[in-house]
Amino acid sequence: MSAKVESIAPRTDAAPQPMLAGEKSPTEMFLVKMFAVIPALALAAAIPLAWGWGLGWVDVGLAVFFYTLTCLGVTIGFHRYFTHGAFKANRALRIALAVTGSMAMQGPIIGWVADHRRHHAYADREGDPHSPWLFGTSARALAKGFLHAHMGWMFRRQLTNAARFAPDLLADADIQRVNRWFPALTAATLLAPALAGGLITWSWWGALTAFFWASLVRVAVLHHVTWSVNSICHMIGDRPFEARDKSANFWPLAILSMGESWHNSHHADPTCARHGVRRGQLDISARLIWVFEKLGWATHVRWPRPERLARKLKTTTS
């Protein structure tokens, strides 16, 4: 996957860049399908497994640890920092965020950021890579739209043009390196839980159950939570803020998505470091950015400004 991205050199001329950069190769299509389908199948197969023989506290602990690490890598790293520049990070934090985000198995960083910037540029209009509203508003069209926004869009051959949407990352040697490491980071995110489970329980069986729960099931759950922000959070929920699109705040996913399901607030003010901007809206990612700021690792954090929020708030709710 990285080979294609590498070949796109940032351009210096001012001519507008095309939106797409060609098509995904058969290998890339195959990998995207594998990443999406195999972890989900693993989750379904897991249901009959009972507590006590194929699942224990070590598996649960490792699954929660790797879920939290990789989820925050995506929410704080890929999304709020790399895509939207909600704060500045020192080099160590920048690389750590790129690495942990890559371990979520959602594709290499540069492609992820380019897709997401394109999503904001065309939100819920033609050109948005994953809007649920592209097929109409009948029940049938919305069912199709939901599936497309949730995971169908990844199976399209369209490749977002990173030279247009992520030239800053293409020009960054550290990020290029992490982008190239994606296959190795994918292996690491799958093997590390198995290694830890094997060492903690000192058994092959412990390695196997940790691989099942803390690698496959954990990746599947995080995939669906991230995809739900693209699908559910553009269909269902509250819309207290003015936004040019159908983004909505969907509270049931606030904890699992670590603040990303406050998606209407995010589209209303995309560069803001906190998405759960209103009272009582839990946003774990914003909490951790606050900790990074206190430690001096993050600076220039764009915290919500009350007067800006008041301006964006709808006078009549719909």
* C-alpha–C-alpha distance, residues 155 and 30, integer Å: 9
- Min dist CB 194 to Zn ion, Å, is 33
Q: How far apart are CA 245 and CA 270, in angstroms?
A: 13
- Please choose, out of 62-70, 103-111, 239-247, 310-318, the segment that lies near Zn ion by the rule CB under 5 A: 239-247
Binding part of the chain for Zn ion, among 53-61, 62-70, 192-200, 242-250 by CB under 5 A, reads: 242-250
| Minimum gap (Å) between residue 92 Cβ and Zn ion | 24
Residues 6+ apart with CB under 8 A from 95: 174, 178
Q: Compute how many residues bind Zn ion; rule: CB under 5 A.
A: 1
* Nearest CB to Zn ion, comparing residues 59 and 124: 124
The distance of closest approach from Cβ of residue 231 to Zn ion in the complex, given in angstroms and rounded to an integer, is 10
Instruction: For Zn ion, give the closer residue by CB, 100 or 247.
Output: 247
Which residues, 6+ apart, have CB-to-CB distance to 271 below 8 Å? 84, 85, 86, 302
The contact mask relative to Zn ion for 188-227 (x = CB under 5 A, - = no) is ----------------------------------------
Q: x/- site string to Zn ion, residues 123 to 162, per CB under 5 A? A: ----------------------------------------
173: Cβ–Cβ under 8 A, 6 or more apart, which residues? none
CB contact burial 205-234 (16+ within 10 A = b; e otherwise): ebbebbbbbbbbbbbbbbbbbbbbbbbbbb
Rounded to the nearest whole angstrom, what is the least distance from the CB of residue 256 to Zn ion in the complex?
A: 17
Q: Which is nearer to Zn ion, 65 or 303 (CB)?
A: 303
What pairing do the DSSP bridges indicate for beta strands 20-23 and 158-160? Answer: antiparallel
244-283 binders of Zn ion (CB under 5 A): 247
| Residues in contact with 18: Cβ distance below 8 Å, sequence separation at least 6, in sequence order | 161, 164
**Closer of 21 and 113 to Zn ion (Cβ):** 113
Nearest to 7 by CA among 185, 159, 187, 186: 159
Contact positions with Zn ion (CB under 5 A) in 93-112 = none
Distance CA 65, CA 56 (A): 14
Which residue, among 256, 190, 234, 198, has the nearest Cα to 34 in the 3D structure? 190
Least distance between Zn ion and beta carbon 84 (Å):
6
Q: Which residue is nearest to Zn ion (CB)?
A: 247
- Residues in contact with Zn ion by CB under 5 A are 247
